[in-house]
Structure 1
Amino acid sequence: MGCQPEWKSEKEEQSYWNATVVDTAFKVLYQDKNPNRALPLYDSLLRSSNRTSLYVKATRLAMLANYNFFFTLDKAATSRYIDSALAVYSENNQQEHYPRSYVGLLIFGGEMAFQQANYTKSNEYFFLAKQLSDKYLDPCERSGFTYNAAMVSYRQQNYTQSAVYFKEAFASQATCPIQTGGIVLQQQEILSNIGLCLLRLKQYDSAALYFNKSLQMAEKYKDSLGVVAIEKIRGVYYGNMAKISVVQGKLQEAEQLFSKSIALNSRPGYEITDALSAQIQLAEVYQKLGQYPRMKVTLQAVRQGLDSLPNSDGEVNWRRLTASYYRDTNQPLEELRYFKLYNELNDSLVQNQKLLVQTDLAQQLKAKEQDLHITVLTKNNQLNRIYLLTAVLLTVMAAIILVLIYQNYRRSKKNVVTLSFLNNEISQQKTALEIANQEKDRILQVVAHDLRSPIGSTVYMADMVLMEEQDEKTTALLESIKSASHQALHLTNELLGIRSGEQSSTQKERINLALLVKDTIQQLNYKAAEKGQDIHLENDAENLMIKGFPDRINRLVGNLLENAIKFSPLQGKIIVRLDNQTNQAILSITDNGLGISK
């Protein structure tokens, strides 16, 4: 299996693997609540695909992180698997190729580090997530980081910054192209969380406005969200509005709202943690109303809830209220016992909260960004120094080049004089050559012109003799003399630059190659006869027509035959063969001469 990228984008790759491997394996994990079947299924589906990538390797580790987070509640193991998944990308320097997956793991790892009070690591992970989100993710995708930053700031009691982050996350999610049910649920939760921030900031009217907006959004999409989700949201809404009633002194109204919230969310599968928080606050309302029997019953219900679902904040508030109950009901020994228990846990939580506040996420992110900015400026200064040195060197080099150019210019001026003298000499020699060439042409014209007359006379006399009856042998010889004389006359005309009554020598003609070769053989038979040689023509095509220059072909064949006669021994045999092969005329001349050595 190969690991080379086969997808155009990370989204395309995620879609492929989620559909073929990841979704199926995770579904089994959440059904079984253990990885005994999910992991082998994951590996089997991966092998069946006959492909692999860093994404599926990291996601397998992320699946084990999810198992420990949701089912074993082992935060340390969860963190280890998240760090291992991050290493799959970082060790291969592929963080920027998988920004969505890497940012998701950083946020998950930052949250786990936060829950383990490792705030330095948490802030480091959140900072890296912010850097990658700002660089590679669109606003919709960046909302995940902003939402988690808002939650961390809220727990650090930086409610103003938390509200800013929540509003930014809400605006980012509004840019998502498809408003799914999951996005709607988170948006209504964000509106509710903004209300909680404003409640902490004592902006009660604004808080109530955001609580109402949250419920209105949920009611708008209630058909797609379903009955259970809507009832959970209503339960949270009633609890939040009850908090406003408490600070406004409307205790009866707060009691009714808390009771409605608890009735909705205390059921299995609902928001049990929120219902537990509402019960604690309802017990405090009963204390303020002096309804201690109800306060006791409510605290007993809270105790049962904390035993099945431990919660440090809920535990410390239960101990505080229990001590207050025994104080108000004049039970000093019980009051002292629970007050001591409260102080032990509260001191630990206060110390942890101080440390948490000191590592304010917003300030840490700002400080890291400033450090990064300073580092960039430092590098820029170093580059500027390099650029300055380079500019100085270039300036020096330019000065040297100018000096060399000036020296070369002076030498060039001297060379110009020499070149001018040489050019004059060359011009004079050229003129002399042109005159000589013209004289040569004149001589050739005279010679060619003088040759035309005797050659023409030879042709005339051959014609005159042929007009009289002659024997066959004499007729053949006269025809050869006539043909040879015509060729000599044509060559003479070419020297003179004329071809009387013919087309330009650059234009091809249709030629009967068989007849042309026969004529050439007849013209040279006398030379062959002198050496007792026999020229034999083998011709399979009597009318072998080609396009070409007849005089040049005649000379070519003549030259080849003359060479064959010259270099063949006495009594030798010369074979001339003509063939027509696939629209090509093939002329071959074979002799038994020595040939040319290779």
Structure 2
Amino acid sequence: MKNILNKFILSFIFILLIVGILLFFKKEKSNEFISVSKKYEVDNSLLLKPKNGKENVIYDLQKLDSVILNKDLSILSQVKVFDYKRYVNQAFINDYEMAHKYADSAISVISGKDPVIYKDEYAIAYLCKGDVFYSQDQFNEAFAYYYKAKQLGLGYFDNCLNSEYSYRIAMIYYKQESYDDAKNNFIDAFKDSESCPDILDNYHRRQQILSNIGLSYYQLKDYDNAEYYYELALKFINTNSKKFPNESRKHNEALGVVYGNLGKVYLQKKEYAKSTFVLKKDIEINLSRGNDIKHAQSSYLSLAEILLKEDKLDSAYLSLKNLKVTLDTISTLKDEAEWNKLMCSYYEKKNNIPQAHYYLQQYLIKKEEASINSSPISTIDLKKQYDLFEQQHNLEILETENKVKNLYLFITIIIVVTVIILLIFMWYNWKESKRNISKLSKLNNTILSQNRELENAFDIITESSKEKEKLLNLVAHDLRTPIASLSLMVDLVVDENNEKERNELMSLMKVACGNALDLISETLESNKNVIKLILKNTVVLNDFLLECFALLKILADEKQIFIDLELPKENIDVKINAENFKRVINNLVSNAIKFSAKGSTIKINAVKKNDKLLISIKDQGIGIEENKIDRIFELESFEYNRDGTDGEQSFGLGLSFCKQVIEEHNGIIWAESIVGKGSTFFIEIPLK
């Protein structure tokens, strides 16, 4: 019952904390952890502003859609794609409904995102929506979205993004003929644009801003400042155009526009020679196919006006006739009205009153049509509008702060209630714990006693397991030589046609089987010791070594190694445990074979020295490092295991067994070696 109550109280506290945390992070949603995964970024070359006709623009859209199909786009790429599609529908297809849909899609992508992290995305989305309204001369709506972008920019945007905002506000002022405000915002936009990347788009924008500052001064009839900024624009284009050599046509087109504007300034200042010179430059550049023909037509009209003022009537007439050819291809009602006005002036100077009257009528008709077709520009007081938006923004901030305060109060109440419940719960458990301490202490003592008994039992089992593991490892190791010999002899018997040789091999196979069976029997008879020597018998040394040699020779022949066996001339009787001693010889010679290269020689020598038997096994193998020799006979010396010269596996068990057997015979075993030249193992046992 107490456990159930404890669980209930803990669950209640946990739920309260979770509710508080969720409510808190709901308020802090904009600062949520952003998990950044690998997203597909659209190549900006696919998003360049189109330069071709409507059909090519549609092809560009289809190409873009095929590239991004089934791609996991990043937030920035999604916004850029929607902005590009908005621009195409707005500027080329004139489908403002679709343009608005794409702009709304861009805004929906960044909805709820943190403006600190996604500042570029916010700027593009809001300016995108404002540009659609601007293109429809809906300046109030356009300014609302520009303001949203600017409001975010106060805290997060860099100067480059602020330049975009100032440029658009300046364009609205210019459209409303508020040229002084337009000029000031253009100047701010140019200053902020200095921090933008040095790329083609920024180059075009900066030279355009300089030209627009000049236009604003021109409209204010401040022709000196207009001339100054036009000259500045020319210098900017000539200086920076070298950075983009592949855009020579665009450079020339921009130069032509500035020349045309500068020509109108000179015209107003009555500097006709200068005006004529730069106007002709504009006409030469922009009357070319693909350039700004409309601007060239405007310069042509200004040039004709200068020629008429200078009474160069034939040149003026020729210019007007040439201009008429282009107006028949592409024109505006305003330009056609101006052309008819100049033709009227020409015929007046020629005293051809009927023709002058005709062109005057045409001028009035075209002017009236232009007045009817031109949509009135909605005029708004941007300063008042800005103040209104500021008030609305401040109200939103106050409402948000009020909600935050209420949320903090609610969270505080939850935390206080949780702490009180937690304190009560801790006091209750403290009392219960105090009563149970004595019971736990007794139970703990009992458990400790049982643990000690279990640990002792476990130690005994572990030791026994280790002994058995050692025994099994040794048996498995020593069985490898006779079994390997058997495997080789089976192949030899199968391939041998000589009956006598086959019988000898069969005899050797029987001996190998007998050795393996003896080893197994000895293992089964052993009790606790890893090695338990049974009765020692007297054997003839030469016969014993020849028997060992017969099996080992097969292994050596398999690896093309020659064994040189040197035995005493007289028979020597020695008392040994034949099976264990045979395992020692097999281990040492097998190792010599394993670590020797093909074609080398292993020399086995047995000699009697002062009532002692000395057996040496010398190979021409890879050798042993000097600092390892003393440890190769240790049972746990597995760290020196090495593969043989043909990749034979090594287990590190045989030499420790050899040492134990020799010591049981009251003898000694040691090794001498030189790395790369070979090793020699010595066995010395007493004959008595």
TM-score (norm 2): 0.48
Equivalence map 1:63-74=2 (5 Å): 63-72=84-93, 74=94
Taking structure 1 as reference, are residues 78 and 246 closer, same or farther at Cα in structure 2, changes over 3 Å only?
Answer: farther
Report percent identity of matched pairs: 22
Equivalence map 1:223-262=2 (5 Å): 223-226=242-245, 227-262=248-283
Give the match for residue 416 of structure 1.
Answer: none
Of the structure 1 ranges 281-290 and 296-305, higher mean CA displacement relative to structure 2 is found in 296-305
* C-alpha displacement of 1:265: 2.0
Q: Does 1:336 align with 2:355?
A: no
* C-alpha displacement of 1:30: 6.2
Q: Does 1:149 align with 2:169?
A: yes
Q: Does 1:140 align with 2:169?
A: no
State the SS of the aligned residue for 2:191.
Answer: helix
Equivalent-residue separation in structure 2 for 1:127 and 1:578 (angstroms): 79
Give the match for residue 220 of structure 2.
Answer: 201
* C-alpha displacement of 1:262: 1.0
Equivalence map 1:507-522=2 (5 Å): none
* C-alpha displacement of 1:191: 2.0
Give the match for residue 390 of structure 2.
Answer: 369
Equivalent-residue separation in structure 1 for 2:228 and 2:53 (angstroms): 40
Equivalent-residue separation in structure 2 for 1:170 and 1:151 (angstroms): 13
Equivalent-residue separation in structure 2 for 1:28 and 1:285 (angstroms): 37
Equivalent-residue separation in structure 2 for 1:205 and 1:233 (angstroms): 21
Equivalent-residue separation in structure 2 for 1:578 and 1:367 (angstroms): 85
Equivalent-residue separation in structure 2 for 1:83 and 1:271 (angstroms): 28
Q: How many residues align?
A: 389
CA deviations over 1:130-176 (Å, ceiling 9, x no partner): 22333332111221222222222222211111121111111111123
State the SS of the aligned residue for 2:460.
Answer: strand
CA deviations over 1:72-92 (Å, ceiling 9, x no partner): 3x15245334334335336x5
Q: Specify which of 308, 321, 328 is matched with residue 287 of structure 1.
A: 308
Give the match for residue 26 of structure 2.
Answer: none
Equivalent-residue separation in structure 1 for 2:283 and 2:216 (angstroms): 22
Give the match for residue 86 of structure 1.
Answer: 106
- Contact preservation (8 Å) 2:133, 2:139: yes
Of the structure 1 ranges 164-173 and 318-327, higher mean CA displacement relative to structure 2 is found in 318-327
Q: Does 1:216 align with 2:235?
A: yes
State the SS of the aligned residue for 1:18.
Answer: coil
Q: Does 1:107 align with 2:127?
A: yes
Q: Does 1:7 align with 2:36?
A: yes
Taking structure 1 as reference, are residues 28 and 294 closer, same or farther at Cα in structure 2, changes over 3 Å only?
Answer: closer
- Contact preservation (8 Å) 1:99, 1:137: yes
CA deviations over 1:49-107 (Å, ceiling 9, x no partner): 4x2455555555444333334543x15245334334335336x5348464423432433
Equivalent-residue separation in structure 2 for 1:264 and 1:33 (angstroms): 26
> Structure 1 counterpart of 2:363, which letter?
Y
State the SS of the aligned residue for 1:270.
Answer: coil
- Contact preservation (8 Å) 2:78, 2:109: no
- Contact preservation (8 Å) 1:234, 1:261: yes
Q: Which has the higher contact order (CA 8 A, sep 6+)?
A: 2
* C-alpha displacement of 1:321: 4.1
Structure 1 stretches lacking a partner, 5+ long: 395-551, 558-576, 586-598
Taking structure 1 as reference, are residues 370 and 579 closer, same or farther at Cα in structure 2, changes over 3 Å only?
Answer: closer
Equivalent-residue separation in structure 2 for 1:83 and 1:250 (angstroms): 47
* C-alpha displacement of 1:194: 1.5
- Contact preservation (8 Å) 2:253, 2:291: yes
Equivalent-residue separation in structure 2 for 1:260 and 1:195 (angstroms): 18
- Contact preservation (8 Å) 2:100, 2:129: no
Q: Does 1:18 align with 2:42?
A: yes
Higher fraction of helix = 1
CA deviations over 1:454-502 (Å, ceiling 9, x no partner): xxxxxxxxxxxxxxxxxxxxxxxxxxxxxxxxxxxxxxxxxxxxxxxxx
Equivalent-residue separation in structure 2 for 1:85 and 1:308 (angstroms): 39
Taking structure 1 as reference, are residues 317 and 54 closer, same or farther at Cα in structure 2, changes over 3 Å only?
Answer: farther
Give the match for residue 142 of structure 2.
Answer: 122
* C-alpha displacement of 1:582: 1.6
Taking structure 1 as reference, are residues 166 and 28 closer, same or farther at Cα in structure 2, changes over 3 Å only?
Answer: closer
Q: Specify which of 266, 288, 296 is matched with residue 267 of structure 1.
A: 288
Equivalent-residue separation in structure 1 for 2:41 and 2:212 (angstroms): 34
Equivalent-residue separation in structure 2 for 1:299 and 1:286 (angstroms): 10
- Contact preservation (8 Å) 1:147, 1:169: yes
TM-score (norm 1): 0.54
> Structure 2 counterpart of 1:143, which letter?
S
Equivalent-residue separation in structure 2 for 1:276 and 1:256 (angstroms): 15
Equivalent-residue separation in structure 2 for 1:290 and 1:237 (angstroms): 27
State the SS of the aligned residue for 2:290.
Answer: coil
Give the match for residue 630 of structure 2.
Answer: none
CA deviations over 1:213-249 (Å, ceiling 9, x no partner): 2222222223223343443343233223212211111
State the SS of the aligned residue for 1:222.
Answer: helix
State the SS of the aligned residue for 1:582.
Answer: helix
CA deviations over 1:376-432 (Å, ceiling 9, x no partner): 56887x789999xx9xxx9xxxxxxxxxxxxxxxxxxxxxxxxxxxxxxxxxxxxxx
Equivalent-residue separation in structure 2 for 1:225 and 1:294 (angstroms): 38
Taking structure 1 as reference, are residues 113 and 53 closer, same or farther at Cα in structure 2, changes over 3 Å only?
Answer: same
